[in-house]
Copies of this chain bind each other. A is one copy, B any other.
Amino acid sequence: MKQWLEDKLLQLNVTDQMDEVNGFTRLSYTEEEKKAHEAFKKVAAELNLDVTQDAAGNLWARWSAEKEDAPTIAVGSHLDTVSSGGGYDGAAGVLTGLAAVKRLKDKGFKPKKNIDVICFASEESARFGVSTVGSKAVAGMIEKDELGKVVDADGISIKEAVESYGLSWDSIDQAEKTTDDIESFLELHIEQGTQIEENGAEIGIVRGVACPVRLQVTVKGMANHTGTTPMHNRSDAFVAAAPLITYVEEQARKLNEDQTTPIVATVSTVHLSPNVMNVIHGEVQLGIDIRSVDDELKRGLADQIRSYCETMNSSVHVHTLVDNDSVHLNPSIEKKLVEITENTGYRAHSMDSGAGHDVMNMATRWPSGLIFIPCREGISHHPREHASIEDLNKGTNVLAAYLESETSEDR
């Protein structure tokens, strides 16, 4: 099985070596994402699964139960990546989903329910600033008119991208499934952190997904010539904004000392104008990403930041870009996953996820679970992202045991 995992990991990443200096770039609805989807179809076909593409470009590889109206257990993740990302974020879940099916088939298991391995389209927000488009469509969460206008850095709208991918934007809502279509959903993903290891465990079982509050802070100063504007006559927007960067980091660190639920906050985007050597910055726009599964805690920090901005020595405007409730996964699936993990011989660590995943949309409609496997040094969205074949194999074992247990009876 390890050799199979190794081979198929390369195949799904459309490469002959995982150690790529510039990592992998398969942005949403591009030819690169499509090539990875073609590879998925090939591997699924080798396993005799029936693959269909839905109206959002998600692929569904079905292992059908004998009984025609059997319920469906779904597992899956995505194959798109950020720019110069790794080949495990997303791919690990797709690969182990297929591997779990192979394991069950190899031992002659016959599922009493359909098993669907899903390859979701367009999970990463790297291209359009909007994440999990494919799973949003499945969970009926697409606001077609508004979303269609969102553009990438080249001014190409998501609608145009979807259509040059060979789909119809106007039909994208046909990808929606009803509550009856799926009985439960499970995603496996790399942790993108180091908590599993730090807690001496091998598999992470996720209780909740910390969805972000995102603030956009615009600090206005006055653009002027760097050489001719005396220090006492300046209003440098970047100088005004600098203490906020420190404040966000320090407050988030402080809250982690006082609270049991973790919280993180990052000044992660910066846009400056005009950003040339001989002009003082007239305007700085900072994007702040705040996450905790404790919604009150994260909103409290957002409020602290808003108050801090009011004390700043400049014209400052704070706009709330995103304020989503965190997602709590299904407690009985979580419990079952912990038991199965321990029974399979691995130590399980119950934890929260700081990153969003397709499962957070699926969980709004179907009982859902999320399994983490470790990744080296917690590094992700980076060419050095890495998960060992050993850990992918452990994940496969847990997934297979879960699928076997869920589909041994037809209800």
Query: Interface-forming stretch among A103-111, A174-182, A227-235?
Result: A227-235
**How far in angstroms is the closest Cβ of chain B from A156?**
17
> Quick one: which of A336-394 are within 8 Å of B by CB?
353-356, 378-382
Most buried by B among A193, A222, A224: A224
Q: Is the CB of A381 within 8 A of B243?
A: no
Residues on the B chain within 8 Å of A265, using CB: 231
Query: Interface-forming stretch among A41-49, A60-68, A90-98, A267-275?
Result: A267-275
Residues on the B chain within 8 Å of A379, using CB: 222, 224
CB-CB under 8 A for A355 and B267, given A129-B277, A214-B277, A243-B246: no
Choose among B83, B264, B274, B356 the residue that contacts A231 (Cβ–Cβ < 8 A).
B264
Binary B-proximity of A61-100 (CB < 8 A = 1, otherwise 0): 0000000000000000000001110000000000000000
Q: Is the CB of B225 within 8 A of A276?
A: no
**How far in angstroms is the closest Cβ of chain B from A3?**
30
Choose among B126, B222, B276 the residue that contacts A126 (Cβ–Cβ < 8 A).
B276
Q: Is the CB of A193 within 8 A of B229?
A: yes
Interface of A, helix, strand, loop or mixed by DSSP = loop
Most buried by B among A125, A226, A291: A226
Query: Interface-forming stretch among A31-39, A279-287, A327-335, A402-410?
Result: A279-287
A73 and B226 alpha carbons, distance in the complex (Å): 31
**How far in angstroms is the closest Cβ of chain B from A32?**
18
| A169 CB within 8 Å of chain B | no
Binary B-proximity of A180-222 (CB < 8 A = 1, otherwise 0): 0000000000011111000000000000001010100000001
| A256 CB within 8 Å of chain B | yes
| A165 CB within 8 Å of chain B | no
Binary B-proximity of A288-307 (CB < 8 A = 1, otherwise 0): 01010000000000000000
| A262 CB within 8 Å of chain B | yes
| A315 CB within 8 Å of chain B | no
Considering only CB atoms, which chain B residue lies closest to A193 in the complex? Answer: B228
Q: Is the CB of A253 within 8 A of B231?
A: yes
A83 and B378 alpha carbons, distance in the complex (Å): 43
Choose among B191, B210, B256 the residue that contacts A232 (Cβ–Cβ < 8 A).
B256
A380 and B226 alpha carbons, distance in the complex (Å): 10
**How far in angstroms is the closest Cβ of chain B from A253?**
5
| A278 CB within 8 Å of chain B | yes
A238 and B125 alpha carbons, distance in the complex (Å): 21
Choose among B194, B249, B279, B381 the residue that contacts A223 (Cβ–Cβ < 8 A).
B381
Q: Is the CB of A236 within 8 A of B223?
A: no
CB-CB under 8 A for A228 and B355, given A268-B278, A280-B268: yes
Q: Is the CB of B291 within 8 A of A227?
A: yes
| A242 CB within 8 Å of chain B | yes
Q: Is the CB of A381 within 8 A of B229?
A: no
Considering only CB atoms, which chain B residue lies closest to A356 in the complex? Answer: B227
Residues on the B chain within 8 Å of A223, using CB: 381-382
Choose among B229, B232, B268, B378 the residue that contacts A279 (Cβ–Cβ < 8 A).
B268
**How far in angstroms is the closest Cβ of chain B from A85?**
10
Q: Is the CB of A236 within 8 A of B249?
A: yes
10 A-B interface contacts by CB (under 8 A): A82-B279, A193-B228, A193-B233, A222-B379, A226-B289, A266-B280, A268-B276, A268-B277, A270-B270, A278-B289
Beyond the given A228-B380, A278-B381, could you list 15 further A-B residue pairs with CB under 8 A, ordered by the A residue number?
Answer: A82-B274, A192-B224, A192-B227, A192-B229, A193-B228, A223-B382, A224-B379, A227-B355, A230-B264, A242-B245, A266-B280, A268-B278, A270-B272, A274-B381, A278-B289
